[in-house]
Amino acid sequence: MKLKHNLILLIVLIVFASVILLVERPFENKTKKTREEASPLFPDLKVEQVKKIVVKKGNTTTTLENRDNLWYLLDKEAYPADPTIVEGVIKKIQDFKKINLASRKKDKHSLFEVKEGMGVEVILLGPEKKKLARFFIGKTGPDFLSTYIRKADSDDVYLYDDYLRADFDKQVNNWRDKTILAFNPTEVITLTISKLKEKETIALTKDTQDNWQLEEPISSLAKNPPIEKLLATLGNLKAADFADEEKEVKDSGIDDPAYQITVRLKDNRKKTLLVGNKKEKGQYYAKNDEKKYLFLLDQNTVESLVPKVKDLQKAKTESGEKTPQEKTEPPPPPSVSRR
């Protein structure tokens, strides 16, 4: 009986302790507190000061440069870089803390792959090429979700609790800005979809009640939801990949496009997407008429931007009108009550 009582008490204590761990999370809070109290690896680093980022791996060097507050990837030419990715990388470097010290010994650098010439070297430069930060990204930690890092002017190696290779060890195209079109969909007042090979044009206009009206190839009230969905895609259109402009421009068909989609905004600006030939792997060549860069769009994306008229036309019954059949049918006979 006493044994049973002790067993019940033990179970109660285990459950109580589990609740405390789940709610209070003392170990997590301790880790968080330790991180907050730890010294930054680069205490003087500020995002606005960074003017150039150099990433080296083996014989490959990737250079990003800030020109008039716009980031560019310096490759064969200065190509717009994705500002979200670049600024995210700088902020991540700001978050580096002197925590989880793995080694203080120089002869361990090779073991953690943070020796110069190994791993990934990252350099941040400010105005007049002032060096703001330089460090080495080594191999992943034991859990494969962390990474060893070392500040260039120190022998100390830290285990950072994130997989940093995904942020810094990128292919050139993964730094580039994939934006094809960018505008506020709610500002659109006209939409024209030209299917040039099929010789069909769908023209739509938004009325003063924010309802869409079909003007071509037929005159009819349109459905708002599919048009709003189309504009949401078009207003934040990202490329699936980039075409090799030197090799593929002749085959792209962009000078004789299959589709041309144009929107006019409230301020009278126009945005146009040109879609050329279909490439292997179900992708289409595409281009913004304001940019010279040639992009690739997935087939599903292109198909969503060139709907059929019947998918946009609002049925008469939806607008409260009677169908022709309802207009010709005789009214039902009055019901006769029986007593």
Cis peptide before 333 (omega within 30 of 0): no
Burial class (CB in 10 A: 0-12, 13-18, 19+), 226: middle
Q: At what angle do helices 26-37 and 2-24 cross, to 10 degrees?
A: 30
pLDDT for 10 equals 62
Please indicate whether residue 24 or residue 91 has the higher confidence score (pLDDT). 91
Please indicate whether residue 114 or residue 249 has the higher confidence score (pLDDT). 114
pLDDT for 224 equals 94
CA dihedral 23, 24, 26, 27 (to 10 degrees): 30
- 216, 211, 179, 212: which is closest to 195 by C-alpha? 216
pLDDT for 315 equals 76
**Sheet holding 131-140: strands in order across?**
78-80, 70-74, 60-67, 52-57, 120-125, 131-140, 147-151, 157-160, 101-103
pLDDT of 28 over the 50 cut:
no
pLDDT for 143 equals 87
- 107, 106, 110: which is closest to 118 by C-alpha? 110
Q: How far apart are CA 238 and CA 178, in angstroms?
A: 5
pLDDT for 303 equals 95
- The contacts found for 48-51 with CB under 8 angstroms, 24 or more apart, are 49/126, 49/127, 49/132, 50/90, 50/124, 50/125, 50/126, 50/132, 51/125, 51/126, 51/127
Query: Over the stretch 287-308, which tens digit does the pLDDT of each residue have?
Result: 998 877 899 999 999 999 999 9
Q: Place 203 in a pLDDT band, splitting at 50, 70 and 90.
A: very high
Average pLDDT, the chain: 85
pLDDT of 321 over the 70 cut:
no
Helices (H) and strands (E) in the chain, counts: 10, 20
The tokens 């019901």 sit on which residue? 335
- How many CB atoms lie under 10 A from the CB of residue 335? 6
Burial class (CB in 10 A: 0-12, 13-18, 19+), 91: exposed
Query: Over the stretch 172-184, which tens digit does the pLDDT of each residue have?
Result: 889 999 999 999 9
Q: What percent of the chain has pLDDT over 70?
A: 82
Q: Copy the structure tokens of residue 229.
A: 């969905």
- As a 3-state breakdown, the chain gives helix, strand, coil percent values, each rounded to 5, of 30, 35, 35
- How many CB atoms lie under 10 A from the CB of residue 277? 15
Please indicate whether residue 324 or residue 213 has the higher confidence score (pLDDT). 213
Q: Copy the structure tokens of residue 91.
A: 């902020």
Q: How far apart are CA 106 and CA 297, in angstroms?
A: 49
Burial 135-171 (b: 16+ CB within 10 A, else e): bbbbebbeeeebbbbbbeeeebbbbbeeebbebbbbe
State phi, psi for 304 to the nearest 5 degrees: -70, -20
